[in-house]
Structure 1
Amino acid sequence: MTSPGTDYDVVIMGGAFSGASAGMMLKREHPDMRILIVERTVQFDRKVGESTSEVAACFLTRVLHQGGHLSAHHYQKHGLRMWFCKTSDDNVGDLTEVGPRYQSRLPTFQLDRAILDEHLLKEACDFGCELLRPATIKSIALSEDESPHTLEIAPQEGQLRTVTTRWLIDASGKAAVLAKKLGFHHTMEELHPTSSIWCRMRNVNGLDTFKSRKMHPRLMENVKQLRTTATNHLMGHGWWCWIIPLSDGSFSVGVTWDRRFYTLPAGPSLVARLQAHLMTHPIGRLMFENAVPDADDTFYYKNLAYRSDRIAGNRWVMVGDAAGFMDPLYSHGLDFAGYTVSAATDLVEKNLMGENTQEITDYLNKAYPRSWSLWFNALYKDKYSYMGDAELINATFLLDLSAYFLGPVRGVYSNPDAEWKLMPYEGAAGAFFGRFMAFYNRRLVHLGQERRRKGIYGAKNNGHVWMPHMSLSPDNTAARLLWAGIKVWLKAEITTWLAPTPSTAPVMMAEKPAEA
């Protein structure tokens, strides 16, 4: 298994979620494998996307076996909730709410990523990975033949080190070191020009407190679970906010927006702009009117979406966010981390055991961009144009999640040995669902445009409670909810078509001018 003539069998660039997971998975199966993890930070910062989906939670609990840690140190998540309003002065009890009525059937979690990443890195080291931290990789010389790769590594303290390795795994996250070095990195600024601001806040008034329920008694109706432990989303035309509770009592709160449709209120700082935006939504005011932000824990990202044209080559491979990222709406970033880490470790293992792995490399270089594009077109392309219409989002909520449960969720739970080594929505069935999802997404984009033209966009943003009477699971329940979503979609087609076209241009819902 070891590679003679090299310092290491594998060097992993980055020790957070993807890098630590890859090191752990390789080392626990092959204790003699020499693995070095190079991490540039002294301690991990907090990251966007603390909420997991069902696929990522499956990876955490059934591949990495972290159920005990997750149960002890993180909130269990109970679904995704979306809140809509017509005006910022709407009463909370009148808002249209989309989301689950009961607790989730499959495990998902609200993660404090700093805690999780440190834990996973420690686990990798406990299995025997060597850690160099803090340290920076100064140069990378990739081999084009069977000779080893060479890296120059500068520890924060100590001499510059030159190391050789058989394999290089890029888990550098959004830095995307190899993709940029090799010219494979592409942003999606023209197709998906999204930005995001987020921070941690304390003294937040949760939706299940005595104060909230006293002020708005309707919060006690309809839902049989705790709303606060869900990922609550505030929705508007061109934007959405996430609200995620964390185990230390703080909340992760942020806003993501498409710059073609919206920009944030002006303000003297990023935190001030985020707070001003939250105050424009009734749920935002209820929860954050007296909240205290951690100004030192504020982040801004521009052009969130990017991907690499290739993710594997001559004994190198990219995993997690180093390969690409789409959008945080459905929390699928860690899904792709699970898939790419599983595929990468399988590739490395087989190669170090002497197998010819060119076919696997070729597959990954075709399947990853194909899967990324399929998911993007199905889930996110121009979706922000109809995010402010509750009826259209209710349709996509049912359709998107049902297709997700029937496809990737069912796959990783029923056939994990095969599914984790493939990219999601592979095969004929996956391609069919992808085309179907992209079709109804295009139709919903069109309906959003028509509704704005006719002045009926967001007409059902208050006075409605749209909650399935079944919790999603990868069985007939998902199929039934898929059919329910199709009916909501078709009804929206009919009502939009029947709505009269005004003789004069309608007055649109109040919104900020698009950002230049």
Structure 2
Amino acid sequence: MTGKDSARTRYEVAVIGGGFAGPLLAAVLARNGVRTLLVEGEEAPRFAVGESMVPYTAALARVVARRYGVPEVEHLTSLEGVRREVSSRCGVLRNMGFVHHRPHLRQHPGEIYQVVNPSVVPPVPHLFREDVDAHLLGVARRRGADVRTGSGARVEGIRIDPDTGVSLRTAAGEEFTAEYVVDAGGRHGPVAQELGLREEPAPARHHSRTLFTHMTGVTPYDATVAGRLHDQPSPWHQGTLHHVFDGGWLWVIPFDNHPRSTNSVCSVGLTLDARRHPARGLAPQEEFDRLLARFPDLAEQFRHAAPARPWTATGRLQYSSKRVVGDRYCLASHTAGFVDPLYSRGLAHSLEVVNALARRLIDAAHDGDWSTGRFQYVEDLQQALFDAHDDLVYASFVSFRDFELFNAVVRTWTVSTVLGALAVENACAAYGRSGDDAVFRDLEQTRHPGSPLPGSAHYNSLGPLTRTLCEEVEAGTRTPKEAADGIFDAIGRADYLPPSLGLGDPDDRFFHNTPARIARAARWVRTDAPDEIGALLKGAMGGLIRERLRGVRRPG
């Protein structure tokens, strides 16, 4: 389409941003008959964090793929699918692992925690983002979106009129008009900048900064002296590894960890409490090396490592918006705000927002009603996701000083990610049986947007309780042990958790659903589970088994 042609075309939705959320949303909208423009002003390839497709995220991607008829998105949900259809440069994620370190001391082999993906779930990938993002741009094109990329597509001017719609001007001088604009351009998204929507400073409790790169020569932690002493059920190098310590954490995400990978790099990032470890003008490699010098068993993993690309270093990571939905616009996903990459929630947040926003945009395009009120749930959802993640990450950073406390706080995350995955799998299975979109719409009718158990007062109080106890630890009014005991006590009283999962047992440091545990959990579902959780678990497990059988039968 030429510039002259574009001036005559009025789009229904203009999407800004070519990372993960923008092309995904554009593909969904175009597939469902919405005249869609996608503009991305940065040159590819781009380096982006958000590389771990945990089971909860994979379940959300399946929902988006099936609900909106875009099967290309489902390729991202399994290692085999992504290898076959997207890229051979992605890794495998079989677990989420955590190793606690103390400065200048050997790592204690008992201070570890691991969540192992259940065997009923096909292996999920570590996503090599430059390939995945390019794949999604291609999907958006093939599904009918008008895609503009490159420096000439950078948006330099925006006008929004509540009555008549949106006008965009690019660096190349092209003018585009649309009924509605979605800014998925990240921290410096042009709509957020033009309308002055950023909160300064961000009101998040958490403060962190990060530096990250891709590296070659990273030794699998299982092959280090400390790693060989560990008794975790799944090798560390078969998943996303978090090294945690007082004041920060370091991630290792390998792309070279299965035989069919054609990639030799690992994603490596160091995230620090920006108040305790302010930037002092050091080069990122020097700061990284100084950190390693404090932790001998961590340093061994990087003895032969070297950056494969320049380091990226940030200021404070946290940013937020005064509001994310307004007249004729929405700030989506990481344009709305960001907390921290801890626990790999970024991709899940993007998928949750795309799932909720797309339906409303499709309906608006069909009936011509772009009123702000119909998008209020998206505002509420994004604020709830931001607040919940801020609470959890804040509490986690407080807990890094003491393994006993971290061992408790990380269970709060485990409960949320496991129940989240089960709730989404249950909805996906129900949709597969009925084909009724009301399955997903009904999930949104809640005072707790994004909650897997909206009807459980206990579940919805667990995150705030964890945060409050950690605030008291930081204030010196409660010991780490007292806070840990309080969290474990709360989890132990949860009537929605099968006792056989061991989440309330401090000594059970591995969430690993062996066949024996699954059998005991199934018996609990039949005999003791509350009706709501019993129905959820039955539906989710039935759906997962059907998914596994479907994958076994799939040719090639």
Q: Which interval holds the TM-score relative to the shorter structure?
A: 0.7 to 0.9
> Which AA in structure 2 matches 1:140?
I
Do the aligned partners of residues 315 and 450 (structure 1) sit closer, same or farther apart at CA in structure 2, a change above 3 Å counting?
closer
Contact 1:53–1:330 under 8 Å retained in 2: no
Contact 1:14–1:170 under 8 Å retained in 2: yes
Do the aligned partners of residues 246 and 61 (structure 1) sit closer, same or farther apart at CA in structure 2, a change above 3 Å counting?
farther
Deviations, residues 435-484 of structure 1 (Å, cap 9, x unaligned)? 222113322443466599899999xxxxx98323436999985999xxxx
Contact 2:184–2:333 under 8 Å retained in 1: yes
With 79-88 and 237-246 compared, the bigger mean Cα shift is at 79-88
> Which AA in structure 2 matches 1:191?
R
> Which AA in structure 2 matches 1:13?
I
Q: Tell me whether 1:99 sits opposite 2:114 in the alignment.
A: yes
TM-score, with structure 1 as normaliser: 0.78
Flag the structure with higher helix content. 2
Counterpart pick for 1:77 among 63, 68, 93: 93
Counterpart pick for 1:442 among 443, 446, 468: 468
Do the aligned partners of residues 368 and 292 (structure 1) sit closer, same or farther apart at CA in structure 2, a change above 3 Å counting?
closer
Of structures 1 and 2, the one scoring higher in RCO (CA 8 A, sep 6+) is 1
Counterpart pick for 2:290 among 276, 283, 286: 276
SS for the counterpart of 2:382 is helix
Give the Cα separation in 1 of the matches to 2:519 and 2:416. Answer: 11
CA shift for structure 1 position 270: 0.9
Give the Cα separation in 2 of the matches to 1:44 and 1:188. Answer: 29
Give the Cα separation in 1 of the matches to 2:293 and 2:119. Answer: 30
Contact 1:75–1:111 under 8 Å retained in 2: yes
> Which AA in structure 2 matches 1:415?
A
Q: Tell me whether 1:339 sits opposite 2:352 in the alignment.
A: yes
CA shift for structure 1 position 321: 0.6
Give the Cα separation in 1 of the matches to 2:125 and 2:183. Answer: 26
SS for the counterpart of 2:342 is coil
Aligned to 2:253: 244
With 391-400 and 412-421 compared, the bigger mean Cα shift is at 412-421
Counterpart pick for 1:20 among 20, 23, 26: 23
Aligned to 1:413: 425
Do the aligned partners of residues 218 and 5 (structure 1) sit closer, same or farther apart at CA in structure 2, a change above 3 Å counting?
closer
Aligned to 1:491: none
Do the aligned partners of residues 413 and 444 (structure 1) sit closer, same or farther apart at CA in structure 2, a change above 3 Å counting?
same
Counterpart pick for 1:433 among 450, 453, 459: 459
Counterpart pick for 1:259 among 250, 274, 278: 274
Contact 2:93–2:126 under 8 Å retained in 1: yes
Give the Cα separation in 1 of the matches to 2:228 and 2:100. Answer: 15
Counterpart pick for 1:177 among 186, 190, 212: 190
CA shift for structure 1 position 244: 0.7
Q: Tell me whether 1:364 sits opposite 2:359 in the alignment.
A: no
CA shift for structure 1 position 395: 1.1
Aligned to 1:46: 47
Contact 1:347–1:357 under 8 Å retained in 2: no
With 415-424 and 391-400 compared, the bigger mean Cα shift is at 415-424
Q: Tell me whether 1:148 sits opposite 2:160 in the alignment.
A: no
Give the Cα separation in 2 of the matches to 1:429 and 1:474. Answer: 25
Q: Tell me whether 1:400 sits opposite 2:384 in the alignment.
A: no
CA shift for structure 1 position 245: 0.4
Aligned to 1:466: 509
> Which AA in structure 2 matches 1:442?
T
Contact 1:52–1:332 under 8 Å retained in 2: no
Do the aligned partners of residues 313 and 168 (structure 1) sit closer, same or farther apart at CA in structure 2, a change above 3 Å counting?
same
Aligned to 1:109: 125
SS for the counterpart of 2:455 is helix
Give the Cα separation in 1 of the matches to 2:511 and 2:294. Answer: 28
TM-score, with structure 2 as normaliser: 0.73
Deviations, residues 332-382 of structure 1 (Å, cap 9, x unaligned)? 1111111111222111110111164644223333343244224423x1235
SS for the counterpart of 1:128 is coil
Aligned to 1:232: 241
Q: Tell me whether 1:11 sits opposite 2:22 in the alignment.
A: no
Contact 1:198–1:274 under 8 Å retained in 2: no
Do the aligned partners of residues 345 and 431 (structure 1) sit closer, same or farther apart at CA in structure 2, a change above 3 Å counting?
farther
Percent identity over the alignment is: 21
Deviations, residues 403-458 of structure 1 (Å, cap 9, x unaligned)? 3322x322222124544884412884366523222113322443466599899999
> Which AA in structure 2 matches 1:44?
P
With 33-42 and 56-65 compared, the bigger mean Cα shift is at 56-65
Give the Cα separation in 1 of the matches to 2:233 and 2:9. Answer: 59
Contact 1:235–1:388 under 8 Å retained in 2: no
SS for the counterpart of 1:124 is helix
Do the aligned partners of residues 196 and 105 (structure 1) sit closer, same or farther apart at CA in structure 2, a change above 3 Å counting?
farther
With 42-51 and 363-372 compared, the bigger mean Cα shift is at 363-372
Aligned to 2:156: 138
Counterpart pick for 1:380 among 384, 390, 393: 393
Contact 1:279–1:289 under 8 Å retained in 2: no
Q: Tell me whether 1:318 sits opposite 2:331 in the alignment.
A: yes
In structure 1, the gaps of 5 or more residues are 459-463, 481-516
Contact 2:395–2:466 under 8 Å retained in 1: no
Give the Cα separation in 2 of the matches to 1:415 and 1:151. Answer: 38
With 464-473 and 131-140 compared, the bigger mean Cα shift is at 464-473
Segments of 4+ moved more than 6 angstroms: 451-458, 471-476
SS for the counterpart of 2:367 is coil
Counterpart pick for 2:307 among 276, 293, 300: 293
SS for the counterpart of 2:352 is helix
Q: Tell me whether 1:196 sits opposite 2:197 in the alignment.
A: no
> Which AA in structure 2 matches 1:110?
H
In structure 2, the gaps of 5 or more residues are 1-6, 66-72, 257-262, 429-436, 485-506, 525-556
Deviations, residues 136-189 of structure 1 (Å, cap 9, x unaligned)? 1110011110x231111123xxxx111211221111012132223223322436
After superposition, the CA RMSD in angstroms is: 3.5
Contact 2:405–2:483 under 8 Å retained in 1: no
Aligned residues: 456
Give the Cα separation in 1 of the matches to 2:26 and 2:249. Answer: 35
CA shift for structure 1 position 21: 0.3
CA shift for structure 1 position 228: 0.2
Counterpart pick for 1:65 among 74, 83, 95: 74
SS for the counterpart of 2:411 is helix
Aligned to 1:500: none
> Which AA in structure 2 matches 1:98?
Y
SS for the counterpart of 2:355 is helix
Deviations, residues 73-111 of structure 1 (Å, cap 9, x unaligned)? 322212221112334341x57462111367665454311
Deviations, residues 255-282 of structure 1 (Å, cap 9, x unaligned)? 1121233457x78411221132133223
Give the Cα separation in 2 of the matches to 1:330 and 1:270. Answer: 23
